[in-house]
Amino acid sequence: MDFINHQLFIKDINVHIDPILPKKTAIITHGHADHARFGHDHVIATRQTIDIMKIRYGDKCAKKFTPLRYGQRYSIKNFDFTLYPAGHILGSAQVLIEKDNHRLVITGDYKVGKDETCKNFKLVKCDTLITEATFGLPIFQHPDPKDEIQKLIRSVKMNKNNCHIVGAYALGKAQRVMNLLRQQNYNETIYIHGSLEKLCEYYSKEKINIGKFEKVSSKDKNFYEGKIIIAPPSALKDRWSRRFPNPIICMASGWMTVKQRAKQQGIELPLVISDHSDWNELLDTINKSKAKNILITHGQEDALVYYCKKQNLLSKPLSIQGRSDEEIE
């Protein structure tokens, strides 16, 4: 495992995983902006991640693209790379790196729970595990997302004169919320913020059931009474949200577990729906991976490092520059 440094850089072959700055060869775990950036020479990722990067940054956002199927091996000199589903968002992948009989897995962002909008997480046994720790505290125990989405549906039924604006990250979370609504037989048109349109269209094209959606365009205030609108979190505080009648501000995020955080952000209806593993899932993954060496990246790493040390697993935090320790998802 000495072949990779704390920046997830493999010097021997000049390969980076999820680099922040433009690099020669970049393996990209998924399309979120803190992982997938513009301007690399060569991007290696799943087909869907490459599609998403092109939608967000344009077709020429990298000079060369190599799409990999899940499970397909790709070699650079004596390093073998394989991508496995991470269950985080559409196209998200873990990276298995094999060298001289050492297996190292970089989970990227992942969740273990079921999700119809992407391939479900696959556990990969390894010697060294580099895991994320976004929700690495035992207070984070995500509830069943179906119950959370029912809260939204109940509130919509009870408050017919209000509209519900749901803050959800534009890529992944927004479509997951839409899909969860459909699973619970909510069949009305869902209204979306303009910045979500292309990604929603892409999810539809990939045959993810997000149902009928339409961009917010009507000037008639009352038109949105009783409707569900999905917007990126940044738009909640923006002028944009003022156009709606008596909005009830909702947010779909794992952070919503903590009431004080919801209150700080002015969220009236918190929905604990996360695309990251919760505490128990993180521990379970660490244990089942059989890895003896655990490195922990961005998030609440202190508690997880403490836990691993107690289990006699070699463990240390990896601080990767450019990832803030909070409010990413």
Partner 1 sequence: MKKFSSLLHNLILTPSRNIKIKLLQDYFKTLDINRAYALAILSNQLSFQFIKASKLRELVYEKVDQHLFDYSYDYVGDLAETISLIWPTKKEGKSENLSTLIENIKKIKKSEINIEFSKILSQLSNNERWTLIKICTGGLRIGVSERLVKTALADLYHKSVNEIEEIWHGLEFPYENLFQWLKNETSKPKIDFKKLFHPMMLANPIDEEKDFKRLNASEFQAEFKWDGIRVQLMVSSKSVSLYSRTGDNISSAFPEIIENTKGDAVIDGELLVGRNFKPSSFNDLQQRINRKKASRDLQKKFPVFIRAYDILFYKGKDLRKLFLCERRKYLEKFQKENKTNQIDLSSIIKFKTWKELTKYKNNSYDDLNEGVMIKLNNSEYLPGRKKGYWYKWKKNPKLVDAILMYAQRGHGKRSSYYSDFTFGVWKENELVPIGKAYSGYTDKELLVLDKFIRNNTTNKFGPVREVKKEIIFEVAFDDVFPSSRHKSGVAMRFPRIHRIRWDKPTNEVLSIEEFKKEFKIG
* Chain contacts with partner 1 (rule: CB under 8 A): 137-141, 257-264, 266-270, 300, 302-303, 306-307, 310, 326
Q: Which two tokens stand for residue 173?
A: 């979370």
Instruction: In angstroms, give the least distance from the CB of 216 to partner 1.
Output: 23
Give 189's DSSP letter.
P
Instruction: In angstroms, give the least distance from the CB of 135 to partner 1.
Output: 10
Which is nearer to partner 1, 16 or 298 (by Cβ)?
298
Which is nearer to partner 1, 77 or 263 (by Cβ)?
263
Q: Nearest-CA neighbor of 162 among 251, 219, 218, 246?
A: 246
Which is nearer to partner 1, 141 or 187 (by Cβ)?
141
Instruction: In angstroms, give the least distance from the CB of 281 to partner 1.
Output: 16
Amino acid symbol at 211: G
Which is nearer to partner 1, 161 or 185 (by Cβ)?
161
Which is nearer to partner 1, 26 or 250 (by Cβ)?
250
Q: How far is CA 109 from the centre of its chain?
A: 6
Q: How far apart are CA 94 and CA 236, in angstroms?
A: 32
Q: Nearest-CA neighbor of 247 among 211, 272, 284, 222?
A: 222
Is residue 88 within 8 Å of 113, Cβ to Cβ?
no
Q: Which helix (H) or strand (E) holds 198?
A: helix 197-205
Which is nearer to partner 1, 21 or 139 (by Cβ)?
139
Instruction: In angstroms, give the least distance from the CB of 302 to partner 1.
Output: 6
Instruction: In angstroms, give the least distance from the CB of 187 to partner 1.
Output: 27
Which is nearer to partner 1, 113 or 317 (by Cβ)?
317
Instruction: In angstroms, give the least distance from the CB of 137 to partner 1.
Output: 5
Is residue 328 within 8 Å of 255, Cβ to Cβ?
no
Which is nearer to partner 1, 81 or 135 (by Cβ)?
135
How many contiguous H segments (helices) and E segments (strands) does the chain have? 8, 18
Q: How far apart are CA 214 and CA 237, in angstroms?
A: 21
Instruction: In angstroms, give the least distance from the CB of 327 to partner 1.
Output: 9
Instruction: In angstroms, give the least distance from the CB of 87 to partner 1.
Output: 24
Q: Return phi, psi of residue 53, to 5°.
A: -60, -40
Give 168's DSSP letter.
-
Bridge-partner residues for 294, per DSSP?
129, 315
Is residue 20 within 8 Å of 27, Cβ to Cβ?
no
Q: Which helix (H) or strand (E) holds 296?
A: strand 293-299
Is residue 211 within 8 Å of 187, Cβ to Cβ?
yes
